[in-house]
Chains A and B, each alone.
Chain A
Amino acid sequence: MKFQFTKEREAKLPNIFAKYPTKRAAMLPILWLVQEQEGWISEEAMQVVAAKLELAPGAVQEVVSFYTMFNRKPLGQHHIQVCNNFCCRLRGADWLVDYVKQKTGCKVGETSSDGRFHLSTVECLASCGTAPMMQINNDYYENLTPEKVDKILKDLT
């Protein structure tokens, strides 16, 4: 499938370019726009972005692969990211990964068979004081207990 920005997103591009003295600096904001639209960044999308930035496709690929938040394949509907860094572990976060695995049926790095969830473990998310914590899509969920996790997962559409 050929990648194309929606009209609404295409209209945002001039505003993004206006913020920077070089086209290349618009790289991350435009990649975010792609991911917001598609949920991931395909080879085709990288080519479109490269053309917009007047760069070789390889220059976009190397950037996409450097950053952990850019998805190079489609993930589930909800991306669950559990912090298992040192400080969260001090506050007893070890159970959280196992619990979320069990509740969603995903292994770490995998998408559930119904496509609803994708589970990742991540490094510190600047929420150490309110651990155990996870991020789902754009939101943080903190001071988690099994009951809270149940409710959060149930309330996701």
Chain B
Amino acid sequence: MTFVLTKNCEVQNMPQLEVARKHGAYASLEKLFARQPKDIIEEVKTSGLRGRGGAGFPTGMKWSFVPQNTGKPIYLVVNADESEPGTFKDRFLLERDPHLLIEGIIAASYAIGSHTAYVYFRGEFYRQWELFEKACAEARAAGLIGKNILGKGYDLEIYAHRGAGAYICGEETALLSSLEGGRGYPRIKPPFPAIEGLFACPTIVNNVETICAVPYIVREGGAGYRKFGTEKSSGTKLFSVCGHVKKPGVYEVPLGTPFKSFFKDYCGGTNGRPLKAVIVGGSSVPVLTAEQVMTMTLDYEAAQIAGTLLGSGGMIIVDDSVCAVEALADLARFYAHESCGQCTPCREGTGWSKKILDRLEAGRGEDSDISLLLQLADNMGGKTICTFADALAMPIRSWIKCFRTEFEDHLRLKTCPMKIGTLNSIRSS
């Protein structure tokens, strides 16, 4: 089933303008320019669309924060940095339907009063960047980008910009630092980008998937978008599913879909072994046990009740062949590697967590290590410039909470139980 975002993602040669147009690309522009920018913002507010980059902030509300009277230019920045482990849904849209993104950029820019939009691609997305450049060139030649778009008196330039390898550049203020030509260091908020962002001008940063939902909202109205999803989590969302799953891939589902049926019908279940854990929203969000996730629906409220976040929608399926300590150690390694180093609790905390988890996994842990990890997590959470440090604090707390006995087994047995036999046979012996 396909809905708002992926309707044309299986169409051959969709990145070519001619093909895209046959499938309805840019059809929203007539409606767009027939209305005032502020009405478009209202429509997006009505739609209930929330940011798909991770934080889930209401998009229409964010747009309404942009001051229109500063005399400074206003920028739209599209976040195509997609680097959160487990997440590959923006890539899917970029490869399958770049004109949908361009159409969304035109609508979003018009709504917030911007005449310059930048799309920040992670450096590794060379082919996706190339494809986007080509799509932009075609759109420009057809009068869809540039001066006086479709003769409606609105000007917009769209520029693609490549990063160069740094996970932290996905964080919006780090992205802006990077786009300005500096190191990708996050900045203290406030000021929020909407007030003072790129080149110290009002700036809206939105994720690729968020922007790709906008043409539908312009065409069908906010109420039309609300046909999908739940009251508080309207619309559809992409989930990129990986790990121990039969059919990994990118799926679009209405928010509120039960995990259980999604997992069975779309993903085909696990590879055969029992499910152990699921990370529903990219490596940074709290892990859930199989029991917890099976009763959950895929929406923002249900995720919160279950103790996690929908995040980026990068869903990682973990079966019982995986050791919880080793899994967490591996995640910690990533965060220790990617910390930008500006804040001591983050720089030190991620490094220490990795060290402690490595020694626990190797059977050389100390009795105080579990409480030490939790203490480190407390020190990292909410005490830093950006929420990167929380992105390891949350996994630490949740893996220990869900699988504490496994951590204790490592201490007691002075080795990884998985390496000497099945957990159950040890516990019962």
Contacts and interface: CB of A to CB of B under 8 A. Distances in A.
A131 interface: yes
A140 B127 CA distance: 9
A89 interface: yes
A123 B157 CA distance: 33
Given A21-B199, A63-B181, A87-B316, A70 B164 contact: yes
Given A28-B163, A90-B244, A128-B85, A22 B180 contact: yes
Interface in B378-420: none
Contacts of B184: 66-67
A27 B83 CA distance: 22
A69 interface: yes
Given A67-B164, A69-B165, A86-B330, A128 B86 contact: yes
A128 B166 contact: no
A53 B180 CA distance: 12
A125 B243 contact: no
A3 interface: no
Contacts of A81: 124
A68 B84 contact: no
B105 interface: no
B88 A129 contact: yes
Given A85-B85, A129-B240, A68 B166 contact: yes
A31 interface: yes
A114 to B, nearest CB: 25
B123 A86 contact: no
Given A86-B334, A87-B243, A90-B242, A24 B316 contact: no
Contacts of B87: 124, 126, 128
Contacts of A63: 181-183
B26 interface: no
Interface size class of B (residues with CB under 8 A): 35 or more
Contacts of B294: none
Interface in B311-348: 314, 316-318, 322, 327, 330-331, 334, 337-338
Nearest to A62: B183
A122 B316 CA distance: 19
Contact of A87 (B86, B122, B180, B250): B86
B38 interface: no
A129 B248 contact: yes
Contact of B165 (A67, A130, A131): A67
A131 B248 CA distance: 10
Interface in A122-143: 122-131, 135, 138-140
Listed residue (A25, A29, A32, A139) with the most chain B CB atoms within 10 angstroms of its CB: A25
A9 interface: no
A126 to B, nearest CB: 4
Interface string B80-100: 001111111011000000000
B126 interface: yes
A123 B337 contact: yes
Contact of A32 (B125, B162, B181, B316): B162
A31 B178 CA distance: 13
B146 interface: no
A19 B243 CA distance: 40
6 contacts: A63-B181, A90-B243, A91-B248, A122-B165, A126-B83, A130-B248
Interface of A: 19-22, 24-29, 31-32, 53, 62-63, 66-70, 81, 85-87, 89-91, 122-131, 135, 138-140
Give me the 10 closest cross-chain CB pairs, A-B, nearest first.
Answer: A27-B181, A69-B165, A67-B164, A129-B248, A68-B165, A128-B242, A24-B181, A66-B183, A138-B126, A124-B85
Given A86-B85, A124-B84, 19 more contacts: A19-B157, A19-B161, A24-B181, A25-B179, A26-B181, A31-B164, A32-B162, A68-B165, A70-B164, A86-B334, A90-B242, A90-B316, A126-B87, A126-B90, A128-B242, A129-B241, A131-B242, A135-B124, A139-B127
